Amino acid sequence: MKIGLAQLNYQVAHFKKNVSKIIDAIDEAKKQKTDLLVFSELSVSGYPPLDLLERKEFVDACMKGIEEIAGHCQGIAAIVGGPVQNHLPEGKNLYNAAFFLEDGRIKKVINKSLLPTYDIFDEYRYFESNRFFELVEFMGKKIALTVCEDLWDQQEFETDFGKSHLYLISPMDELARLDPDLVINIAASPYSYHKERVKKKIFIEKAKKYNLPVFYVNQVAGQTELIFEGGSMAVSPNGDIYDELSFFMEDTGYFDLDKVLKGRKYQSRQESKLIIQNIHDALVMGIKDYFSKMGFSKAVLGLSGGIDSAVCLVLAQRALGAGNVKALLLPSAYSSEHSISDSLELLEKLGVEHEIISIEKAMQAFKESLEPVFKGMKEDATEENIQARIRAVLLMAYSNKFGHILLNTSNKSEAAVGYGTLYGDMSGGLSVLGDVYKTDVYNLAKYMNSDKEIVPCNIISKAPSAELRPEQKDSDSLPDYSVLDQVLFRYIELQKGSESIIREGFDEGLVRKIIDMVNRNEYKRFQAPPVLRISSKAFGYGRRHPLVANYNFL
C-alpha cells in the first residue's frame, strides 16, 4: 500500500479554496500511483472554526465539500476531516470526524473521542465524544484511524499542577484490541517552540507501544493567532522516524507501507535547526497568512530605533515584501540621534520606504491644552503616555489613509508586566512579538544577522529605552530582562506559584513584585490586538484570567 500525507494550508470557512486544494492533491497523488491520501483534522472547514460550528449552513457547506471530494476518489482512497451531525437524540449536535472516502462516496466516518478543553482548545463546547470504536478496512489492511487527541491521551506537563492522563479512556487501547495493521492520526496541532520534542515523543512511544507504524498528518497554516508548523511524519513500529515533512510550508510525502514497516534510521531535517530559527519561520508565516487571509497586503509600523520594532520590521519585510511595508519614524524631544540613524541604516538594508514625522509640535499642543487642568503639577507617566498615544494616532491615520494594517511591536515581557500604553504603543491590528520574550527578541536579531548584518549592531547592543523622558532606560522600572523572563516563563508557561519560583533561588521580593505586575495588568492585555502564538501559553484566548480578581494568594 502506498500512503500519501498531504499537509496543506487551509482557510477557515473558505470551502472553495480548501476543497480545490484537496482535489488538486488527490489528482497529483493519482499520478504518483498512491492508494491512500491523508489530510489533516477539519481540513475541509479549516481549523479552528469556533462558533461557525453553531451555524447549520456552515456544517451543510462542509458536507457538500466532502461529497464533492469523494466524487474524485476513483482509483484512490482519501481521508479528510470535517464536522458531522450527531443524529442521536442526546448529546452535542456535532462530532469532529475523519471521513474515509473510496469509490466516489463516503465509505466510513470515524468520530473523535477525546475533546481537548485546555489552553486554546475548546472542542467540548461544540462536539460530542465518540464512544464506539471500529477499524477501517482497506486493501486487506485494518487501519486504526484516530483524530489528533485520540492518540495523545497521555500528556507531558511541566506545571506544578497537572495530570499526565487527562481522560478516562485510551482510544488507541480500545482500537488495539481489534488488531489493526497501522495507525493513522489526522491532526490540527498548533506550533509551540518548547513542545516540538514532546510531539515527536508521543508518536515514537505510540509506535513502540503498539508495535505498529504510525502516520501523522498536520496542517501548515497561520490561522489568526494560531500557527501550525506541519511536520507530518511516518514512524516505524520500532519507534524510528521513517520520514518527516517540512516545517512551515505545504508538503506532501508518499510512503510504501512495507518499507515503513521495516524501518530505517532517519536524520530529521528539523533536528539541525535552532529553536529560534523555527520561531522566526513561524512568525513570518503567521504574518503572511494573517494578511493574505484577511485580504490585506500592506503593513505599517512605528520604527523607534529599538530592538523590538527593528525585528518586527525584518519579519514583516520577509513575510510581505519590502514594497508592502512602510515605516514611520516618529521622533520626540527625547529621541536620541542614533535612534534615527540606526533606523535609517536598517531601512536601507531592507529596502523599505519610510516617513519621518516629528511629534514635538503635537506634544506641545497637548501640553498647552491641558495646562489649565494640570497647572502646578509635575510631569509624570501621563506625559509619557500622551507621546505614545500621539504616535498611535499618526500611525492609525496612515493606516486609514493608505489601507495598511498597523503592526504592533510590543514583546511578551512588556505585555506581561504592563509596560505599555493602552491606545498608544499597544495599538495595532496584529501583535507580532506579543508571545516572544525580550531575551528571545535579541536572539531573533542575532539569528537574522547570522549570514550578514541586517539589524545594526548598535540596535542590539544599546540599552533598551522607551525614550519618553530624559535618559530613560527600561531598567529604571523593570528588572534585567535575563532575570525577568525566567520568572515570567515559570509563572506564565509553567504556571508555577511564587513559593515554587522562590525555591528555585530567585529573590523573594522580586518574584512577588513581578507576579503582582502580571496580575494587575490583565485588563490591558484584554484590549491588545491578536498575538501570534509560538509558546504553550500565549496571551489571548488560550490564557483566560479574570480582569477583576484578588490574586493575593499568589
| Mean pLDDT of the region 336-354 | 92
Among 24-28, 139-143, 492-496, the minimum mean pLDDT is found in 492-496
Quote the pLDDT of residue 377. Answer: 95
| Beta-carbon count within 10 A of 439 CB | 17
Q: Look up the pTM and report it.
A: 0.94
| Mean pLDDT of the region 46-55 | 96
Quote the pLDDT of residue 155. Answer: 66
State which CATH number among 3.30.200.20, 3.40.1080.10, 3.40.50.300, 3.60.110.10 fits the domain covering 2-271: 3.60.110.10
Same fold, 2-271 and 277-474: no
| Beta-carbon count within 10 A of 51 CB | 11
User: Does the annotation count 73 as an active-site position?
Assistant: no
Tell me which amino acid residue 380 is.
D
Residue with the larger pLDDT of the pair 476 and 259: 259
Strand-pairing partners, residue 138, are 141
User: Does the annotation count 17 as an active-site position?
Assistant: no
The pLDDT tens digits of the residues spanning 417-426 come to: 999 999 999 9
Cβ atoms of 416 and 518 within 8 Å: the answer is yes
- Take residue 230 and report the three cell numbers written for it: 506541519
Question: Rounded CA gap, 253 and 207, in Å?
Answer: 19
Who's near 370: CB < 8 A, 6+ residues apart?
A: none
User: Does the annotation count 112 as an active-site position?
Assistant: yes
Question: Rounded CA gap, 340 and 302, in Å?
Answer: 12
Selecting among 2, 21, 41, 196, the annotated active-site residue is 41
Does position 272 have pLDDT exceeding 60, yes or no? no
Question: Rounded CA gap, 355 and 337, in Å?
Answer: 16
3-state DSSP assignment of residue 272 = coil
Selecting among 112, 288, 326, 438, the annotated active-site residue is 112
Who's near 385: CB < 8 A, 6+ residues apart?
A: 421, 424
Average pLDDT, the chain: 93
| Beta-carbon count within 10 A of 305 CB | 26
Selecting among 148, 345, 467, 522, the annotated active-site residue is 148
| Beta-carbon count within 10 A of 224 CB | 20
Domain range summary for the chain, segments of one domain joined by +: 2-271, 277-474
Domain 277-474 falls in which CATH fold?
A: Rossmann fold (3.40.50)
Residue 260: pLDDT band (50, 70, 90) is very high
How open is the CA angle 191-192-198, to the nearest 5 degrees? 100
The pLDDT tens digits of the residues spanning 79-115 come to: 999 999 999 999 999 999 999 999 999 999 999 999 9
